[in-house]
Protein backbone atom coordinates (compact mmCIF):
# COMPACT_ATOMS: atom_id res chain seq x y z
CA UNK A 1 0.00 0.00 0.00
CA UNK A 2 1.40 3.36 -1.06
CA UNK A 3 1.44 5.97 1.69
CA UNK A 4 -0.32 9.31 1.01
CA UNK A 5 2.90 11.12 1.96
CA UNK A 6 6.70 10.79 1.88
CA UNK A 7 8.13 9.85 5.27
CA UNK A 8 11.47 11.33 6.29
CA UNK A 9 13.53 9.66 9.01
CA UNK A 10 16.52 11.91 9.65
CA UNK A 11 19.39 10.63 11.79
CA UNK A 12 22.27 12.76 13.01
CA UNK A 13 25.64 11.06 12.58
CA UNK A 14 27.53 9.49 15.48
CA UNK A 15 29.83 11.46 17.78
CA UNK A 16 33.07 12.64 16.15
CA UNK A 17 36.48 12.06 17.67
CA UNK A 18 37.49 14.13 20.69
CA UNK A 19 40.15 16.33 19.07
CA UNK A 20 37.76 17.45 16.31
CA UNK A 21 35.18 18.53 18.89
CA UNK A 22 37.54 21.26 20.13
CA UNK A 23 37.21 23.14 16.84
CA UNK A 24 34.59 24.35 14.38
CA UNK A 25 34.61 21.42 11.95
CA UNK A 26 31.44 22.19 9.98
CA UNK A 27 31.58 20.57 6.54
CA UNK A 28 35.12 19.19 6.86
CA UNK A 29 35.53 15.41 6.87
CA UNK A 30 36.45 14.43 10.43
CA UNK A 31 36.58 10.94 11.91
CA UNK A 32 34.08 9.36 14.28
CA UNK A 33 34.94 8.47 17.88
CA UNK A 34 35.81 4.78 17.67
CA UNK A 35 35.18 3.99 21.35
CA UNK A 36 31.72 5.59 21.18
CA UNK A 37 30.87 3.55 18.07
CA UNK A 38 31.59 0.39 20.03
CA UNK A 39 29.78 1.53 23.17
CA UNK A 40 26.65 2.52 21.24
CA UNK A 41 26.06 -0.76 19.46
CA UNK A 42 22.74 -1.14 21.37
CA UNK A 43 21.64 2.23 19.95
CA UNK A 44 22.28 1.05 16.39
CA UNK A 45 20.47 -2.19 17.13
CA UNK A 46 17.46 -0.20 18.36
CA UNK A 47 17.52 1.94 15.21
CA UNK A 48 17.83 -1.15 13.02
CA UNK A 49 14.67 -2.55 14.62
CA UNK A 50 12.57 0.62 14.44
CA UNK A 51 13.48 2.13 11.06
CA UNK A 52 10.98 1.41 8.28
CA UNK A 53 11.45 -1.30 5.66
CA UNK A 54 11.59 -0.80 2.76
CA UNK A 55 13.11 2.67 2.58
CA UNK A 56 15.35 4.76 0.37
CA UNK A 57 18.62 5.58 2.15
CA UNK A 58 20.62 8.79 1.75
CA UNK A 59 23.77 10.20 3.31
CA UNK A 60 26.05 13.17 2.69
CA UNK A 61 29.52 13.36 1.09
CA UNK A 62 31.11 13.27 4.55
CA UNK A 63 32.34 9.90 5.80
CA UNK A 64 30.80 10.29 9.26
CA UNK A 65 27.29 9.92 7.81
CA UNK A 66 28.19 6.89 5.70
CA UNK A 67 29.92 5.20 8.66
CA UNK A 68 26.86 5.85 10.85
CA UNK A 69 24.64 4.22 8.23
CA UNK A 70 27.07 1.29 8.03
CA UNK A 71 26.85 0.90 11.82
CA UNK A 72 23.06 0.59 11.54
CA UNK A 73 23.42 -2.00 8.77
CA UNK A 74 25.93 -3.89 10.90
CA UNK A 75 23.42 -3.88 13.76
CA UNK A 76 20.76 -5.70 11.79
CA UNK A 77 19.12 -3.43 9.20
CA UNK A 78 19.43 -5.04 5.73
CA UNK A 79 22.29 -3.37 3.86
CA UNK A 80 21.14 -0.74 1.37
CA UNK A 81 22.61 1.40 -1.36
CA UNK A 82 23.28 4.93 -0.11
CA UNK A 83 22.41 7.92 -2.27
CA UNK A 84 24.89 10.71 -1.61
CA UNK A 85 22.96 13.99 -1.46
CA UNK A 86 25.40 16.90 -1.54
CA UNK A 87 22.77 19.42 -0.46
CA UNK A 88 22.29 17.68 2.91
CA UNK A 89 25.87 18.39 4.02
CA UNK A 90 26.60 20.31 7.25
CA UNK A 91 26.92 24.12 7.39
CA UNK A 92 30.17 25.31 5.84
CA UNK A 93 32.26 27.44 8.19
CA UNK A 94 34.47 28.60 5.33
CA UNK A 95 37.66 30.25 6.60
CA UNK A 96 36.60 29.48 10.17
CA UNK A 97 36.98 25.73 9.78
CA UNK A 98 39.49 24.57 12.37
CA UNK A 99 39.10 27.62 14.62
CA UNK A 100 39.10 26.60 18.32
CA UNK A 101 35.76 27.28 19.99
CA UNK A 102 37.38 29.70 22.41
CA UNK A 103 38.58 31.86 19.51
CA UNK A 104 35.24 32.06 17.71
CA UNK A 105 33.75 35.02 19.66
CA UNK A 106 36.51 37.40 18.52
CA UNK A 107 35.67 36.66 14.87
CA UNK A 108 31.93 37.26 15.07
CA UNK A 109 30.27 40.29 13.51
CA UNK A 110 26.98 39.55 15.33
CA UNK A 111 26.21 38.25 18.83
CA UNK A 112 26.37 34.47 19.04
CA UNK A 113 23.17 32.46 19.35
CA UNK A 114 22.54 31.19 22.91
CA UNK A 115 22.74 27.57 21.69
CA UNK A 116 25.12 27.79 18.71
CA UNK A 117 28.49 29.49 18.21
CA UNK A 118 27.04 31.72 15.46
CA UNK A 119 23.81 33.63 15.00
CA UNK A 120 21.38 32.37 12.39
CA UNK A 121 22.48 35.05 9.92
CA UNK A 122 26.25 35.10 10.61
CA UNK A 123 28.11 34.03 7.46
CA UNK A 124 31.79 33.12 7.95
CA UNK A 125 34.08 34.29 5.13
CA UNK A 126 33.75 31.77 2.33
CA UNK A 127 31.10 29.86 4.26
CA UNK A 128 27.37 29.76 4.93
CA UNK A 129 24.95 31.18 7.43
CA UNK A 130 22.29 28.92 8.90
CA UNK A 131 19.81 30.82 6.75
CA UNK A 132 21.85 29.77 3.70
CA UNK A 133 21.70 26.15 4.87
CA UNK A 134 17.92 26.32 5.10
CA UNK A 135 17.89 27.71 1.56
CA UNK A 136 19.67 24.65 0.13
CA UNK A 137 18.26 21.92 2.41
CA UNK A 138 14.62 22.84 1.82
CA UNK A 139 14.69 22.37 -1.97
CA UNK A 140 16.70 19.15 -1.55
CA UNK A 141 13.98 17.74 0.70
CA UNK A 142 11.30 18.72 -1.79
CA UNK A 143 13.20 16.94 -4.58
CA UNK A 144 13.55 13.81 -2.46
CA UNK A 145 9.87 13.95 -1.53
CA UNK A 146 8.89 14.17 -5.18
CA UNK A 147 11.29 11.42 -6.28
CA UNK A 148 10.11 9.05 -3.53
CA UNK A 149 6.47 9.99 -3.20
CA UNK A 150 4.59 7.48 -1.05
CA UNK A 151 7.83 5.97 0.30
CA UNK A 152 10.08 6.36 3.32
CA UNK A 153 13.40 8.17 3.08
CA UNK A 154 16.06 7.54 5.76
CA UNK A 155 18.68 10.30 5.65
CA UNK A 156 21.82 10.15 7.79
CA UNK A 157 22.92 13.75 8.03
CA UNK A 158 24.09 16.49 10.42
CA UNK A 159 22.77 18.56 13.31
CA UNK A 160 22.71 21.79 11.34
CA UNK A 161 21.09 20.11 8.36
CA UNK A 162 18.33 18.59 10.47
CA UNK A 163 17.61 21.95 12.13
CA UNK A 164 17.46 23.46 8.64
CA UNK A 165 15.04 20.72 7.55
CA UNK A 166 12.80 21.49 10.50
CA UNK A 167 12.99 25.21 9.76
CA UNK A 168 11.86 24.49 6.19
CA UNK A 169 9.03 22.23 7.34
CA UNK A 170 7.80 24.64 10.02
CA UNK A 171 8.45 27.87 8.13
CA UNK A 172 10.56 29.31 10.96
CA UNK A 173 13.63 31.53 10.93
CA UNK A 174 17.18 30.28 11.34
CA UNK A 175 17.46 31.81 14.81
CA UNK A 176 14.38 29.87 15.91
CA UNK A 177 15.66 26.62 14.44
CA UNK A 178 18.88 26.91 16.45
CA UNK A 179 16.84 26.55 19.65
CA UNK A 180 16.10 22.93 18.65
CA UNK A 181 18.24 20.20 20.19
CA UNK A 182 19.48 17.54 17.75
CA UNK A 183 21.78 15.10 19.52
CA UNK A 184 24.15 12.61 17.89
CA UNK A 185 22.37 9.49 16.62
CA UNK A 186 18.97 11.01 17.46
CA UNK A 187 16.01 10.51 15.15
CA UNK A 188 13.80 13.27 13.72
CA UNK A 189 10.68 12.27 11.78
CA UNK A 190 8.77 14.39 9.27
CA UNK A 191 6.17 13.76 6.58
CA UNK A 192 5.68 15.57 3.28
CA UNK A 193 1.95 15.54 2.53
CA UNK A 194 0.41 17.05 -0.63
CA UNK A 195 -0.75 20.03 1.44
CA UNK A 196 2.45 20.59 3.39
CA UNK A 197 4.85 19.30 6.00
CA UNK A 198 4.08 17.55 9.27
CA UNK A 199 6.72 17.21 11.99
CA UNK A 200 6.19 13.95 13.88
CA UNK A 201 9.09 14.01 16.34
CA UNK A 202 12.35 15.83 17.03
CA UNK A 203 15.51 14.51 18.71
CA UNK A 204 13.88 11.16 19.46
CA UNK A 205 16.05 8.77 21.49
CA UNK A 206 13.68 5.97 22.56
CA UNK A 207 16.58 3.69 23.59
CA UNK A 208 17.37 5.87 26.64
Domain ranges of the chain: 6-15+41-92+128-204
pLDDT computed for residue 152 by the predictor = 98
How much of the chain exceeds pLDDT 90, in percent? 97
Write down the pLDDT at residue 208.
67
Residue 2, pLDDT > 90, answer: no
Average pLDDT over residues 6-24: 97
Average pLDDT of the residues in 179-186 = 97
> Residue 118: how many CA atoms within 13 Å on its side-chain side?
27
Residue 130 in this model has a pLDDT that exceeds 70: yes
- What average pLDDT does range 121-149 have in this prediction? 98
> Residue 183: pLDDT above 80?
yes
Within 8 A by CB and 6+ apart from 89, the residues are 27, 60, 61, 62, 158, 161
* pLDDT class of 206 with cuts at 50, 70, 90: confident
Arithmetic mean of pLDDT over the chain: 97
Mean pLDDT calculated for residue range 183-195: 98
Task: Give the mean model confidence (pLDDT) for residues 86-105.
Answer: 97
Q: Does position 85 have pLDDT exceeding 90, yes or no?
A: yes
- Whether pLDDT at 207 is above 80: no
Does domain 6-15+41-92+128-204 match CATH 3.40.50.1100? Answer: no
Amino acid sequence: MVMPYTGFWMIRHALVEENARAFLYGSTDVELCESTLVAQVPVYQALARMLPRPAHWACTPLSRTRRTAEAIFGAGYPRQDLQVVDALIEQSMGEWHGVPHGKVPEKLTQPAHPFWPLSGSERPPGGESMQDVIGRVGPALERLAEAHRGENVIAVSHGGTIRAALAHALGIAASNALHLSVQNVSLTKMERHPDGWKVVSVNEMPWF
